[in-house]
Amino acid sequence: MTKIFEALQRVEKEHNGYDSDSMQTSYGHMSNVAGSVICNSEGLSNSMVNLYQYVMTALPDMDCRIISFNESRMFEGSSVLCREFAKVLVSQLGKKVLVLDFSEHNYGTASYFNIHRNGATSQDDDAPMLNSDAVHQIESSTLYVCRARVNRDADYKPMFEALRNDYDMILLDMPPVVINPSSLVITKFLDGSILVVESEKTRWQVANKSVKSIMTHNSNILGVILNKQQYHIPQFIYNHI
């Protein structure tokens, strides 16, 4: 995994837009490279709260923040983390959250909540607006989910600006970069993107390429989540590092 972050540091030097030490987290075990936060698997909700605090610090002075969860390839966990982050925002922090599922696969946030209708359509495909009938409220909570599809030629700025008035946080569950790189065109309309990297699985070259692809679209990379991290020495030792 060291090579992944070495690659990210090289990208930082090339683009001067990403701080590779700013955030490194893992699903179940969250560690902030700039600090010393480590949580066990039972502390996932605390990890998501920490992630929220990080996002608030990285994106201050906004009433609504719009961020995407990206992964290089399938099953790295970006959809799971996006969903868990949304649930904690709603249940613990009292936020009103919209998840736009652009993932186009059957393990995304919309499929998890059994939502199948595509809602990101309008009469004007060049400047789409969200179809309110396709935005699903999850039970009686303040979590809303909509399945969507990226139109790479569309101007999404009017849609997102309109949505900012209705939600505290808007999360985009994105498809894998390697499979659908054209979907990244939407990231330029967002406040920031988070890249999910699967520990001991994702090759550093792939992660490096994904970061460069995201930056090509003028996206603000907030950080990297190191997911499914395995600890090969007792947890209590990590707690004291």
- Interval 98-130: pLDDT, tens: 999 998 777 889 999 988 766 655 545 666 778
Strand order in the sheet with 136-137: 24-25, 221-227, 192-198, 65-71, 169-173, 97-101, 143-147, 136-137
In angstroms, what CA-CA distances link 17 with 4, 77, 134, 192, 200? Answer: 17, 24, 36, 11, 26
- Interval 203-232: pLDDT, tens: 566 666 667 777 777 778 888 777 555 544
What's the whole-number mean pLDDT along residues 11-21? 44
Beta strands in the chain (DSSP E): 24-25, 65-71, 97-101, 136-137, 143-147, 169-173, 192-198, 221-227
Looking at the chain, list the stretches that DSSP marks H as alpha helix, in order from N- to C-terminal side. 2-15, 44-58, 78-91, 109-112, 157-163, 204-216, 235-238
Two tokens, residue 37: 């936060």
Two tokens, residue 189: 């309309």
What's the whole-number mean pLDDT along residues 195-200? 71
pLDDT computed for residue 225 by the predictor: 75
- Which strand (E) or helix (H) includes residue 150? none
180: pLDDT strictly greater than 60: yes
22: pLDDT strictly greater than 70: no
Pairing of strands 143-147, 97-101: parallel
Nearest Cα residue to 133 out of 124, 123, 120 = 120
d(CA 143, CA 93): 12
pLDDT computed for residue 40 by the predictor: 36
77 vs 57, which has greater pLDDT? 57
29: pLDDT strictly greater than 60: no
pLDDT computed for residue 39 by the predictor: 33
What value does the mean pLDDT of the chain take? 75
pLDDT computed for residue 201 by the predictor: 54
Handedness of CA 86, 50, 192, 201 (dihedral sign): negative
Which of 46-55, 189-198, 200-209 bottoms out in mean pLDDT, i.e. has the lowest?
200-209
Residues in Cβ contact with 157 at an 8 Å cutoff, skipping those fewer than 6 apart = 189
Specify whether the CB–CB gap between 33 and 54 falls below 8 A. no
178 vs 61, which has greater pLDDT? 61
pTM metric for this prediction: 0.76
pLDDT computed for residue 227 by the predictor: 58
Nearest Cα residue to 187 out of 224, 143, 161, 150 = 150
19: pLDDT strictly greater than 60: no
pLDDT computed for residue 76 by the predictor: 72
